[in-house]
Amino acid sequence: MENKTHYASAERSTTQQILDEYNIAGSQRIFTDIFGALTGIGAVIDKNRQVIYSNDEFLSLLGISSVELILGKRPGEVLSCPNAFKEEAGCGTSKACAYCGVVNTILESQDTGKKVTKEAQLTGRLNGRNMNWDLKVTSTPIVFNGETFYILFLQDISETKKRIALERIFFHDLLNSIGGLYGLLTVLKEETNPDQTRELINLSEETSRNIIEEILVQRQLRAAENGDLNVNIVLANSIELLDSVISKIGFHETGKEKRIMRSEDSANIDFETDKILLQRVLINLIKNALEETEISGTISTGVYFDRDEVTFWVKNKNVMPEEIQIQIFKRSFSTKGEGRGDGTYSIKLLTENYLKGNVSFVSTETEGTVFSVVLKTEFPSD
């Protein structure tokens, strides 16, 4: 029975074909010397997008010593991209693969017979950790023994993209906030009405708090990406934690003239977690829901407990288009414009890499959009 595909070809080379192609590539001494000397993550793939050769940098990234361990796999399968396993035919065949820069670079190179370079965002898992890469991907056709193969190079440009995003988002938003604070203080100097003065002081305090919060968020996200974030496990109460988050959001711009309703049947349990990180996750979830909610609208949130898992959820009534659902956890992807996607990205990063939980969502006409954070419950020691 033929494997189905929603995007790229599902056809795969046989094991014998892969071995033959591997021997062809390995027999080209000039090629292997040059390929091995190039700086960057490199592999050679065949017409069915399967690996037949790689350089040492690729093997080092994967933590393996021999290319034979990845022969016949496609790039997303090698890097454990979750979309590579959604369909039986593997990498390139799911609906999400239509938005993958790696797959699209290869396909265009195959179609045109020319070198193609594109940028891509790739999520994978290495050594038990979720990884998120911004990549510059190049696919170059090369002919061995009358057969066309493709040299695939992946250059990690994550640091460059982070810097650009920081300059575009953080400094821009920070300058706007500081400009607003400066304006409030300028008016405050001239104000003589005590009631107006008090209101201006309150607004200035709120703006200052938001500036500090934004700085701390960016510092925390940077540490999380670098693997330098310390986890501090303490006792937490589910209701107290959720109510605290709701109260904080009430002071934020996104929460004004909108309502956050906590479910009355929310579970009231004590468990152990990193309260600061979990609060950050829940704040981002609720802020995202509020941003998709109209003025005077309502979102709902709550927590339930089932056996050894505690689940926090946030719901709004809107439905996300499929193309947004597919890309929602990518770094720098957002419905609010280019470079504005740190919210959902950081939710997944903090939950799965540090809180040892899972993040998921459903978005349908009947349910609206519901994000859930599921944590394995750790109860306090007696």
| Cα dihedral sign, 364-366-370-376 | negative
Three-state secondary structure readout of the chain: CCCCCCCCCCCCCCHHHHHHHHHHHHCCHHHHHHHHHCCCEEEEECCCCCEEEECHHHHHHHCCCCHHHCCCCCHHHHCCCHHHHCCCCCCCCCHHHHHCHHHHHHHHHHHHCCCEEEEEEEEEEECCEEEEEEEEEEEEEEEECCEEEEEEEEEECHHHHHHHHHHHHHHHHHHHHHHHHHHHHHHHHHCCCHHHHHHHHHHHHHHHHHHHHHHHHHHHHHHHHCCCCCCCCEEEEHHHHHHHHHHHHHCCHHHCCCEEEECCCCCCCEEEECHHHHHHHHHHHHHHHHHCCCCCCEEEEEEEEECCEEEEEEEECCCCCHHHHHHCCCCCCCCCCCCCCHHHHHHHHHHHHCCCEEEEEEEECCCEEEEEEEEECCCCCC
Give the pLDDT score at 340.
Answer: 44
Give the pLDDT score at 332.
Answer: 58
Q: Say if CB 207 and CB 181 are below 8 A apart.
A: yes
Give the pLDDT score at 370.
Answer: 96
Give the pLDDT score at 1.
Answer: 39
Domain ranges of the chain: 15-156, 160-225, 234-376
Q: Which residue positions in the chain have pLDDT lower than 50?
A: 1, 337-341
Specify the CATH number for 234-376; select among 3.40.640.10, 3.40.50.300, 3.90.79.10, 3.30.565.10.
3.30.565.10
**pTM (two decimals):** 0.66
Q: How far is CA 301 from CA 53, 196, 245, 267, in A?
A: 50, 35, 11, 12
Give the pLDDT score at 378.
Answer: 64
Give the pLDDT score at 230.
Answer: 83
Q: How far apart are CA 165 and CA 332, in angstroms?
A: 7
Give the pLDDT score at 31.
Answer: 75
Q: How far apart are CA 197 and CA 188, in angstroms?
A: 6
pLDDT, one tens digit per residue, over 218-253 is 777 777 767 777 888 999 999 999 998 988 787 677
Fold of 15-156: Beta-Lactamase (3.30.450)
